Amino acid sequence: MSARGVAWLDAKTAEVGGTRFLVTEVDEEYRNEVSDTERLILVKDADYLSRCVDRFAQLAPRNMVEIGIWQGGSVVFWNLVLRPQRHLVFDLYDRSVEPLGDFAASGARHGQLDIVFGLDQSDGEAVEAAASRTFGDEPIDLIIDDASHSYPETRAAFETLLPRLRPGGIYVIEDWAWAHFSDQSWVAEFSRNRPALTNLVVEIMLMCAARSGVVDELVVEPRAVFVRRGPRPLDRSFRLADEYYNRGMPYRPLL
């Protein structure tokens, strides 16, 4: 079965243009496997990934950003499927697996692919500088955040990059619901004392309620939230707290 150039060889193996991917969310599989020349590791649920293929292909992104690299599978997959003209990916940690480096240097990649390690998503100045190097003044069509899953860091990246997203563009925040999973291993990994990423989803919802033109739509799914950018121009002074109202009181994390 093939859709948008993606052929599913079995329930966990996808192929795009001759490149194979192990698509799994099973801890024992993705933590113990390493991307190699035979296949790259893509930490996603197969059904979710297929729906994203259709959603993003309709968007036809010219410029896209990915935050979080892991073993490079997502970078290669979206570059092959979506064929962006400019593609910026970055991670706080060194995820320089050999197949990703080989792909970036090969003729198989599409457009300008910039891979940056050691870039903290909460460092607004550094993230803005990286975006400027890749895109100049051009707007971004698609942003996928699959990095820290931490409320302060994810919120900081959102405030930095949302002004660059074009009207109608999509900002994706993956694994937002970790604090509420029945599998509490995520809670142990991220600390019970850390505010849930759900707080950012609530803030974005409040922006929708304010009808300010910043966000037109918020779609909440179990594995991700999809934020559709509204028509109102934003500049680098954009801050979430300025865009919604709480009866005159500041928003404080609820969860």
Give me the pLDDT at residue 1, please: 43
Q: What's the pLDDT score for residue 189?
A: 66
**What is the chain's length?**
255
Q: Residue 97 is encoded by which pair of tokens?
A: 């697996």
Does pTM surpass 0.85? yes
At 186 the pLDDT is 65
Mean pLDDT of 196-207: 95
Report the C-alpha gap between 13 and 38 in whole angstroms.
11
Please tell me the CATH code under which domain 45-242 is placed. 3.40.50.150
Cα distances (Å, whole numbers) of residue 134 to 56, 137, 140, 162, 180: 20, 9, 10, 16, 36
Q: How much of the chain, in percent, has pLDDT values that exceed 90?
A: 78
pLDDT for residue 221 is more than 90: yes
Over residues 196-206, the mean pLDDT reads: 95
Burial 215-224 (b: 16+ CB within 10 A, else e): beebeeeebb
Q: Does the structure show a pLDDT above 70 at 71?
A: yes
CA distance 128 to 21: 31
Please, are residues 163 and 235 in contact by the beta-carbon 8 Å criterion? yes
**Residue ranges covered by each domain of the chain:** 45-242
Q: 245 pLDDT band (50/70/90 cuts)?
A: confident
Q: Averaged over 93-120, what is the pLDDT?
A: 94
What average pLDDT does this structure show over 140-156? Answer: 97
pLDDT reported for residue 60:
96
Q: How far apart are CA 188 and CA 155, in angstroms?
A: 21
